[in-house]
Structure 1
Amino acid sequence: MIVNGIEINVKRKNIKNLYLRVTAPDGEVKVSAPEYVSDEEIINFIESKMDWILKKREEIANTDYVPKLKYVNGEKHYLWGEEYTLQLIENNVKNAFAKDKTIYLPVSKRSKIKSRQKTLEDFYRNELKKEIPQIYNKCIKKVGKSPNEVKIRKMKNWGNCRKNGVITLNLNLAKKPKICLEYVFIHELCHLIEFNHSKNFKKLMDKNCPNWAEIKKILNG
């Protein structure tokens, strides 16, 4: 169906109301309509929503679309700031591993996306566990404080520090350059001295990680 020069994908279903969606990445307009509704009613409905449709399509066009990961052969993933190609292998190998710019992911033939995602996340967790000891002593000597415990998990922030001395690092740091891991760890160690982002905290960061602002841009880039 064409309405105001826009192609509309209409599907009739056993539903009671009309529903409208504009989907990324191409701004396709989709309408779900009850089986008994006439074409004229559908057109009137679309025209009544035209301002919203145009606004939504413009938003999608101006947004860098990141495709949803499917964890399939050839998909691109990152390890320590470098791009790797994903290669699925039979799960007679226990753990995922990286070699020659390829991450080999052991999975069963009928594995689903969630299972593959967990296997890759376990790989990233192991990579972080191997790298943290490499920077641990170096960072605590700089800051003069040591945590009671270091944890790894998926979270919104790159890291956090609790008053009980527990530091948590984001699992996704394994995708960033190693200097980012060191920066985040120093950042959280400094919170053991200043539990805020005050001027004193920034002075601590300037002292212990002079180029922290540049690294932060890399981390969030």
Structure 2
Amino acid sequence: MSAARSLKTIRLYAISRIGWIKKQQAKLSAQERDTPREYLNRESHYLWGKRYLLKIIEREAPPFVDLQHSTILLYIRPEAGQEKKQLELDEWYRKLLKKAISELVSSWEKKIGVRVNEVGIRKMKTKWGTCNREAGRIWINLELAKKPEEWGY
């Protein structure tokens, strides 16, 4: 297939999906914008698009994050600052996202006949994810753990 014909096919497909694209753009525009987090009690945090209140529980033990009803419980040492609290929550999000993504990748590998060698999670400023086909590597934006699970189709 020539490049011009391929481009024409892509354009036709995009035009056929214009309604869906506009709907997704409207949903994105309507989303609340996050304010910088301070990692304080009763501060709002999101998981899979749902809002949870953060509860800080200070204790002399290794840090731990748990989810109970509409609350994210962050067990952390009393001397821990904002940076340490953020680090612990980020690791918790990373663990949850890694589990969700591995199930999704496994499903899609079978459907499209490809093999993924590695899936990584990291913070990205402008993308939801990237893919290196030659290496079989996928990088996913950590922020996806905070968004509705619709990204999984």
Of 122, 142, 150, which aligns to 1:171?
Answer: 142
Question: Which of 69, 79, 100 pairs up with 1:100?
Answer: 69
**Whole-Å Cα distance in 2 between the matches of residues 113 and 171 of structure 1?**
18
Q: Which residue of structure 2 aligns with residue 129 of structure 1? A: 98
- Say which one has the larger Rg: 1
CA distance in 1, matches of 2:100, 2:33: 31
Counterpart contact for 2:122–2:141, Cα < 8 Å: yes
Quote the residue 1:5 is aligned against: none
Helix, strand or coil: the match of 1:140?
helix
Alpha-carbon deviation of 1:98?
A: 0.9
Q: What is the rounded CA distance, in whole Å, between the counterparts of 1:69 and 1:132 in structure 2?
A: 25
Aligned pair partner of 2:51 in 47, 68, 83? 83
8 Å CA contact retained: 2:47, 2:147:
yes
Query: Distance between the aligned counterparts of 2:81 and 2:72, measured in 1?
Result: 18
Q: CA RMSD in A?
A: 1.9
Q: Structure 1, residues 149-180: CA drift from partner, whole Å, max 9, x if none?
A: 11111112110012322111111111112221
**How many residues align structurally?**
119
Offset at residue 146 of structure 1 (A): 2.0
Q: How far apart are the structure 2 equivalents of 1:115 and 1:125? A: 15
SS at match of 1:96: strand
Residue 94 of structure 1 and its aligned partner are, at CA, apart by 3.9
Q: Tell me how far 1:132 sits from its aligned partner.
A: 2.3
Structure 2 CA distance for aligned equivalents of residues 93 and 99 of structure 1: 19
Q: Report the TM-score when normalising by structure 1.
A: 0.50
Q: Which runs of 5+ in 2 are unaligned?
A: 1-31
When structure 1 is superposed on structure 2, of 79-88 and 157-166 the one drifting more is: 157-166
Q: CA deviation at 1:110?
A: 2.3
CA separation of 1:165 and 1:133: change in aligned 2, threshold 3 A: closer
**Hey, which bits of structure 1, 4+ residues long, moved more than 4 A?**
none
> RCO higher in 1 or 2 (8 Å CA, sep ≥ 6)?
2
DSSP-derived class of the 2:86 partner: helix
Q: Of 160, 167, 171, which aligns to 2:130? A: 160
TM (normalized to structure 2)? 0.70
Contact 2:76 2:85 in 1 (8 A): yes
What is the alpha-carbon distance in structure 1 between the residues aligned to residue 103 and residue 66 of structure 2? 19
Extract unaligned runs of 5+ from structure 1: 1-63, 184-221
Q: CA deviation at 1:66?
A: 4.7
Q: What residue in structure 2 maps to residue 58 of structure 1?
A: none
